[in-house]
Structure 1
Amino acid sequence: MRGFSMLRLMTVAGITFVGVASLPAPTSGAAERPVDTAALKRLAEQVEPGLQGDARRLAAYVDYFRHKLVSDIRLFAFSVTAEAEGSRGVRLAGYVEFPETRAAIGEYLSILGFEPVHNGLETLPAPELGDKRFGFIKSFNALSYAEPAEKEVVTDCLLGDHLFLLREEDGRLLVHGGDGYIGWVAAEDVHRVEEAAFAEYLAGPRVFLLKNQESPGPGGFEAPAGGRLKFVRDEGDDYIVQLPDGNAGRVAKSHGELRHPPEARIDVICDAAKELLNTPYLWGGKTKSGVDCSGLVQVSFASGGVSVPRDADEQCHMGQLTGTRWSRAAMRRGDTLYFINANGRVSHTGLYLGEDQFIHAVSPVVRINSFNPNDKNYDAARDASFAFARRLWE
């Protein structure tokens, strides 16, 4: 990942700090991923140069950690409170998405001199969800909120939108929407499924609604423009689609567009990436003379006529969410992959080639690795640090 470091003033929760804009990405660790203590110490010194934390500033310390080490709270679940306990202790409560984040914030507070740190943070998805940790919006639309209480609207989820479920509370589900956004939706608006059914519904051609669907007749249903539904067959002037709950519906061809997976364009991108195999790793590079991870992805998509941002932490906002650390069944060749460092921040990207294989630029050269432990080219460090996948073309 390319990044930038610059000195700047920053005010968080009323406290002004001087620090760098981003921490250097640590090297990959083993599957258990110990935290990068040196980076956390630098972070702690930005808020308290003497590393003597003040319990009255706990909320500010947590907020600063979130700002610096959580890539984007719109895309990463992070709800953390810290309360003083005893003379120098701290109790953490709430939830985060990744174990790296959980471990890092505990170590960060320890470096600030708080002991003991009782780390009660839950990592998601919550085990109480069971196997049905996936879903689809089954109503016309469902507003997604920043909190379980219906206060601040984050986004709107449309009929057919896919969801990765994270936790449930008071009749609401914390989810990653299809665009990756984190938010709370009403459980009654979600058709929950297991992983196999989730991946099957997302596979193959889909019908994209171009206009609002208002069909009271047989097979009719109401759906908003922008909805995506699984294509079943062509029937006269209609497309027969599968609704999220398994029922069939009709979409007039004048109201929808049938789209197949763009295999030819995906071939162009994957072939362009493979042309850079064995190219030396060069920070900032984008040619056969040298290339970095986000440069490889950017150049590959440019070959297919698609412009993407330069850095991994910018690229990770683009496209539909198709994979998470805990589910890769819906991933498809051509999806972009994102990995986090030992402290939980996006630090690396690559391109999925299908069948567990992915290509990425790492030192010393661009290579193809695998997520499958049975493959000779298995990369345990990247398997452990994988965060999520995105799809730019549907």
Structure 2
Amino acid sequence: MSDLLHAFGLPPLHDPERIIEGDKNLTHASRIDGITGRPITPLKSGPDTASETLSEALYGEPVQLITEAPGWWHIVSIIDGYMGWVSESAIADYEFLPTHRVTAPLTHVYSEPDLKSEPELILPMGAFVSLPGLEENGFAETALEGWIYKKHLTPVGSADPAEAPVSIAEQFIGSPYLWGGRSKLGIDCSGLVQVSLAHAGFRVLRDTGPQFRSLGRLLGPEEKPVRGDLAFFPGHVGWMIDGVHLLHANATHMSVTIDPVSEVTCWVQKDLERKGKTTPPFSGFRRLD
């Protein structure tokens, strides 16, 4: 498994509290049985298209098969240990190990190395692709029998940890909110945190609660938030872009927006009151030192 993860350019999963061992949605993977063969594949709570979407797997991400049902696979995503049901047809053999990942929010796979040629597929940030090595007009040929603009790709494992994840997250401003989403076409709050950290070379857990427990350190009451800190609320998270404003995927606007953290706290407070909960509306700031 470690050799295969190295081939995918994946660092160890950041889980200092060993959350994966006690979370019902997560499990350790021991092998790779295939890759996701569609640009975006929903991970469902059951073998039914009408069941809740828990998360998403992006093109080329490695998975392990847990069990089967007619037309469905119960899989674990090697990326973050998340389990879910996917259509059997969404999983492909990994005939070629990936050489590159998509770094643009979205990129087209063209039929020819020409921007005027027909786009055949659209891939999200984080998708894995294999490049045989042929380049022409700034495009790279892929094992998909199509061409991708080379500047939208980076070799696997070559992410720069110094690149600010919050700057990556800013590229998603205006993206529609989507429960369980992990792409520019639709994303949720913890998905935005995970995807932007992945772009900077970090492999982290997918949901808000585990992220709060595992990422960085909690700021003390005398410490002021700065750009790049994470702000956590019950069931919600976002990036601070300065000492006041939060960049987050939210259901209030159904979009990725920037809002004063004080306003977001009020939204959460009202939602908690509506649900009859007495939980504090703000959990704290965490800094990725």
TM-score, shorter chain, exceeding 0.5: no
Task: Report the TM-score when normalising by structure 2.
Answer: 0.41
Larger Rg computed on CA atoms? 1
- Compute the TM-score of the two structures, normalised by the length of structure 1: 0.31
